[in-house]
Chain A
Amino acid sequence: MKRYRRCLLCAGLILALLPAWAAAQRVAIDDLGDLNLSFAAVQPLDEVPGPAVQASATHRGGAMYRIELPRDARRASYLVDNGEAVSAGQPFVVLDGPEIHHLLLEYSTLRTRYESAKDRYERSRESYRQQALREDQWVEISDRYLALQLEFEHMRHFQELVRETTDHDEAITLVAPIDGRIHYADNRERLVAGTELAGFLAADALRLRARVPMASAGDLAALELSTCRVAVAAVDRVAEGFFVTAWSEPIPADCEVTLNATLSARPLYRQAAYAVPRSAVFTRDGEAQVLVRRGNALASVAVSLLMPDGEDYAVSAASDLAGSEVLVTSVSAVQGILLGLGGE
């Protein structure tokens, strides 16, 4: 019985002290005198921004449609600027030089040779079926035909991109193979056969690549540029020092991002939080707090500061703050009241 009494006494004491403790966390608005009081609504957030990181507009390897020079050229006259958007079939360069002239000749010769080989192959196939042709002869004819076909097809593919230039025998005009942005090779002075002339990147292949701190990469939801927001598609599982590489979804056209551009991007991390104005936050008892309007009083509520977001802070809180109003002016004066200042 005695023990119960003691428990009851303790409980009573706690109950008696609770309102006092709660009162210490609250300040009646009527007690705030002439202090200038204005409030702002707390906005819920799904994502929390992190410190800006460097990002580049690029593509994941292999997405570039590359064109190599088939023959040495003496001169190249570029018809579109590097990085410009082109559509399939749009001329982009005029190549000039004897080798280029030879290319055209070579192509017409090859076609003739290929057509004659094809004709011979067609005819020989019938003869071979009727066993009018020996085995070794048939093999030689078909091998020759297939080799020429391969050579011709190879050349034809390139030739599809070629438009003859009428006013100049030794020049050809190349056209874009696909819709996308053109990216000329770095060394455009070296017009040697086999070197890359230009690449074409389809609009949906341009992505943001950013190095983000490894510790927080798991929650990365999007990268935010000054012009738009791009969702994150993947995060590499390979670390580079203290960072990992994140890839965005293809960059929408309205982002107006140029290929290979270095950009400042804000990583947005998946986290339920609230946006409160910076001027609403103060520290007390070693933790950040905001003053939430509860009826005719202000209640001091502890929050965890996550990240600054312009004039706001992204914060998390144990209690639901969505839709609440927080004090944004004269906050330090109320902080003073809670500290026991004034009162004269």
Chain B
Amino acid sequence: MLNQLVRFSLTQRLFVCVLAALVVGLGVRAWILLPVDAYPDISPTQVKVILKVPGMTAEEIEQRVTYPVETELLGIPRQAMLRSTTKYAITAITLDFIEGTDIYWARQQVNERLGGLLNDLPFAVDGGLAPMSTPLGEMFMFTVENDELSLMEKRRLLEWEIRPALRTVDGVADVNVLGGYARTFQVTPRTAELSALGLSMADIESAIVGQNMNAGTGRILLGNDVLVVRVEGRIASLQSLGDVVVRAGPQGVYRLRDVADVEIGHLARYGAVTRNGEEAVQGLVIALRDSNTGAVVAGVKERLAELENTLPPGTQINVFYDRARLISTAIGTMSNALFQAIVLVVAVLAIFLGNFRAALVVSLSLPLAALSTFLLMSATQLTANLMSLGGLVIAIGMLVDASVVVVENTVTRLADNRGLPRLHLIYRAVREVALPVVSGTLIVIIVFSPLLTLSGLEGKLFTPVALTIVYAMIAALLMALTVIPVMASLLLGNKAIAMPRFMQRMQQHYAALLARVLTRPRWLLLAVLGLLALSALLLTLIGKIFMPVLDEGDVIVQLEKSPSISLEASVELDKQIEIALLEAIPEIRQIVSRTGSDELGLDPMSLNETDIFMELAPRDTWRMDSKDELENAVRDVVSRFPGINIGFTQPIQMRASEMLTGSSGDVTIKLFGEELAQVAELMPRIARIARDVPGAVDVQASVTEGGKFLNVRVQPELAAAHGLSASGLADYLKTQIEGTTISEVREGRQRIPLTLASGSTSIAAPATVPELEQRTVVLPDGELATLAAIADISYAEGPSVIERERGSRFGIITLNVEGRDVVGLVEELRGILARDLPLPSGYRLEYGGEFENQQRATRNLLLVVPVALVLITIILFATFRSLALAGIILGNTPFALMGGVIALFVSGEYLSVPASVGLIALLGIAVLNGVMMVSYFQQHWHMSAPLSERIVNGATQRLRPVLMTATTAIFGLLPLVFATGPGAEVQRPLAIVVVGGLLTSTVTTLFLLPVFYQYWGRRQHE
């Protein structure tokens, strides 16, 4: 079949050329249209349920909402994890489904279960499924700036002008509105007047609700026409609200304003945003799952530009986070590396082949393979991102291998011109190498196949890498067997191409050296074994991490303050820190901080939690060299504000960590146990122990306890006498303390809540317990009473936040690791905790975070790599028909890998998933070179020369291809080793391992393999 393919290509050269042109055209089109993102989509099929239960404590919501909902949702099939976080007034339940589950099916399942349950809950629960987004969906953030507008006006602008416009942009799931004040029409009844008129709160509410409507009544005939009749009562202004009649009788007409204060107020605030020390209003655009982030951001910007003219004069949209910036820098880094790799590889080819035309023919395979890869990526809906493009860069060095072999053989055959037609010579040349080329490619594909089996985050990240490499290798193979022979026939001359002089000299020196080694192999073996032992030792010393952190170019500082803090006090501290940071660090362009919960409840932070988002100046203007130094400077400033827990993260990193582990931090320690008080007591002890472990920084025990409540218990006898129920009192007090939305007022397209509340300022709400006790309550029968007279008021304490996983409660301790490997730290910490902190029965610790991913990745690789080795052995056996020869080639691989380990140690990088992938790639290249060398020895097996001479001759003949394969691979990866832009840090360990490994692997292939072969050969002769 291979022969037919080559023959067809050479006989239909025009067709092949047209086909190649078509591939180029379609490839370019695919490159332009490919969805672009910084990361591949790393989110699992995840459905989030957010339920708001205003006014209820965490423990009560857990019992009455979270628990029943969890129980119901636990029955849904194909789920991988069920987590929940319950806080004051809100619960967020997250369901992860197993890989491959359709998100629409999953959402439908959750929705069905939820729909049936929510109606059965004994009180009003607001909310439901969160928008269908991923944690990477937060891709555009801005604040609305206008000195002339108040916070309330800015929020109105964002909520009712900007948000609806942005929601129509294709790919936008929602626009989250944060900060400012949500305007309301507020009615504050005056209890004494109500009592004097014998009115209750319910009367006021029904008067307003009954009035605030327009009703259609039907049509009347008017001669030949009809006229629609409607009843109009809708409240449109404060004036018309005040005019609502609450009591009419012989004594007169009483309007709402006679018994209540009617004014503009705002909804109770659950969060706030500050910018550079001032309160602000923030918009956060969330992209739909599977949308093209680049296109969505472009659409959002376009819509904002259109809107700008319609906004009030002086309004500015201050963008402080734009994912497109990260994408363009990350993709730019990879594109640069790709371009440099191509140039370097072409140069290397030209030098080794010593012939421009031959180098040109080989080089043609690079753009063709790359464009074909884009075509395949587009067909399989793979996005262009750091990982997929990184895969292409890794493959560049290997892509040319097939073409090199084909072209080299073609050049040789053409030079040996035996009077056959030119095309036939080329056909013969290609046919000779077709099988080894295919098996070589197959070996590379098999080597990378374990990556396709990775699960979790590493799977999501490295599947695109493996797929791109596989696509590129297949494309390169096809090119080598079709387009390259055609190009060779068109571009190569008939003259013999002399080997470059430097290559000839190298061959001479190599032959002499190899002959000496073959006679006295002991020294080489000793040296190599010594190096192997050294690299094994180094392997234990190298730190292990899951994944190098992608530098997103932005910094987020997470603050955790005392759990009972008020929003005002929390914001006040944020402002202090923001101003201090801006003064001390000129590298920070602007700071936007978010405290508390957002509008949609996607990120239900408490009032004591703040994410400080820093937009940084361009790196060339910095005083410091690295982001680590900048983070240290920030840490220095923030640490001068004691009493606040600090953590560092980045926008995507934060969301990804929260999505995958439910929390952020390199290591998370979960303490499972039912009694929250016990958990709260143990957690600080664990945190203290963790702080003493070297390398542990930002150790934080999340505060679960500290919720303090006032219990108001109705006195049943009195309540019954006045017709008061517990729920009635709860509604009444809610109005007094937080306000109740009873209706809404339409102003154009704005829908403004109409609330019964105790006043627009917090001073009007009860501020002490004695004051609450003396609050006057209008009882249902119109009688007045103080709260203390009809109810018992007592203090109660409870948890402020309850975290659950698969129905079990837990507390969480997070820490980041600095200056050492995560795995080592966790192992040390685990040992210390097991020794020093015996846990009560029923309590257990689970270690997660990055560590969890690292463990899983190691487990997966340890399972799959041996399988790949078996497959390679089978291929080798099929090629050589000898298990011993296959063993020789495989036996060479550990010696090849030691260079990778040494390079890793010298460069100071950690053993991470990318480094492991590099070792896997190295394995492939070492096997490939081994095959190349041994197959040549085998071809000369029947020569009548002594074994060592045959080996030296064969090895000398293979010197050039072996060196070419190694150098193209090395130079193909060098740009990644030295790349510094965002995105490079993920691929750098891989490149370092391969480059380092190739150095030793080339030496062992050239010297050690012949020695092994000599041993085997002697045995065969004996």
Contacts and interface: CB of A to CB of B under 8 A. Distances in A.
Contacts of A262: 192
Interface string B362-399: 00000000000000000000000000000000000000
Interface stretch (A7-15, A160-168, A328-336): A328-336
A178 interface: no
A69 B769 CA distance: 55
B561 A336 contact: yes
Given A283-B708, A344-B697, A51 B643 contact: no
A39 interface: no
B767 A278 contact: yes
B197 interface: no
B776 A51 contact: yes
Interface residues of B, number: 50
A344 B699 contact: yes
B643 A341 contact: yes
B789 A336 contact: no
Interface string B428-453: 00000000000000000000000000
B358 to A, nearest CB: 62
A339 B795 contact: no
A215 interface: yes
B603 interface: no
Contact of B768 (A307, A335, A336, A342): A307
B893 interface: no
A286 B576 contact: no
Interface string B559-571: 0111111100110
A33 B576 CA distance: 12
Nearest to A279: B569
B768 A313 contact: yes
A342 to B, nearest CB: 5
Nearest to A243: B784
A336 B795 CA distance: 22
A49 to B, nearest CB: 9
A283 B709 CA distance: 12
A127 interface: no
Contacts of B703: 339, 341
A307 B771 CA distance: 6
Interface string B187-207: 000001100000000000000
Given A306-B768, A307-B770, A344 B785 contact: no
A32 interface: yes
Contact of A344 (B646, B684, B708): B646
A140 to B, nearest CB: 55
A34 B641 contact: yes
B786 interface: yes
A332 B642 contact: no
Interface in A73-114: none
B644 A306 contact: no
Interface in A294-344: 305-308, 310-311, 313, 329-344
Interface in B640-675: 640-646
B485 to A, nearest CB: 65
B248 interface: no
A36 B767 contact: no
Interface in B165-195: 192-193
B572 interface: yes
Contact of A333 (B580, B637, B642, B684): B642
Given A329-B572, A332-B570, A51 B767 contact: no
Residue among A335, A339, A341 with the highest chain B CB neighbour number at 10 A? A341
Contacts of A283: 564, 708
Nearest to B762: A278
B643 A335 contact: yes
B642 A213 contact: no
Contacts of B789: 213-215, 242
Max count, chain A CB within 10 A of own CB: residue among B580, B786, B789, B790: B786
Contacts of B691: 344
A305 B697 contact: no
A35 B579 CA distance: 11
A34 B640 contact: yes
Contacts of B771: 50-51, 307-308
A34 B580 contact: yes
Nearest to A35: B641
A213 B788 contact: yes
Nearest to A331: B569
Contacts of B508: none
A54 interface: yes
B255 interface: no
Contacts of A158: none
Interface in A106-159: none
Contacts of B790: 242
Nearest to B566: A332
Interface string B689-732: 00100000111000100101000000000000000000000000
A305 B770 contact: yes
A333 B790 CA distance: 38
A335 B569 CA distance: 11
A332 B565 contact: yes
Interface string A255-294: 0000000100000000000000011001100100000000
B723 to A, nearest CB: 14
A335 B788 contact: no
Contact of A33 (B641, B698, B783): B641
Contacts of B637: 34
Given A310-B763, A344-B698, A333 B641 contact: yes
Contact of B643 (A50, A286, A310, A333): A333
B720 to A, nearest CB: 16
Given A213-B774, A341-B561, A341-B562, A241 B646 contact: no
A254 interface: no
B562 A330 contact: no
B697 A332 contact: no
Contact of B786 (A215, A279, A331): A215
Given A34-B580, A215-B786, A344-B698, A51 B642 contact: no
A302 B691 CA distance: 31
Interface in B533-585: 560-566, 569-570, 572-573, 576, 580
A336 B564 contact: no
A262 B196 CA distance: 11
Contacts of A25: none
B774 A50 contact: yes
Given A35-B641, A336-B561, 10 more contacts: A33-B641, A34-B641, A35-B640, A35-B642, A54-B192, A216-B774, A241-B783, A306-B768, A306-B770, A332-B643
Interface of A: 31-36, 50-51, 53-54, 211, 213-216, 241-243, 262, 278-279, 282-283, 286, 305-308, 310-311, 313, 329-344
8 contacts: A213-B789, A241-B785, A283-B564, A307-B770, A332-B643, A333-B561, A341-B703, A344-B639
Q: Which 5 A-B pairs have the closest CB atoms?
A: A336-B643, A54-B192, A33-B640, A337-B643, A308-B767
Interface of B: 192-193, 560-566, 569-570, 572-573, 576, 580, 637, 639-646, 684, 691, 697-699, 703, 706, 708, 763, 767-771, 774-776, 783-786, 788-790, 795, 797
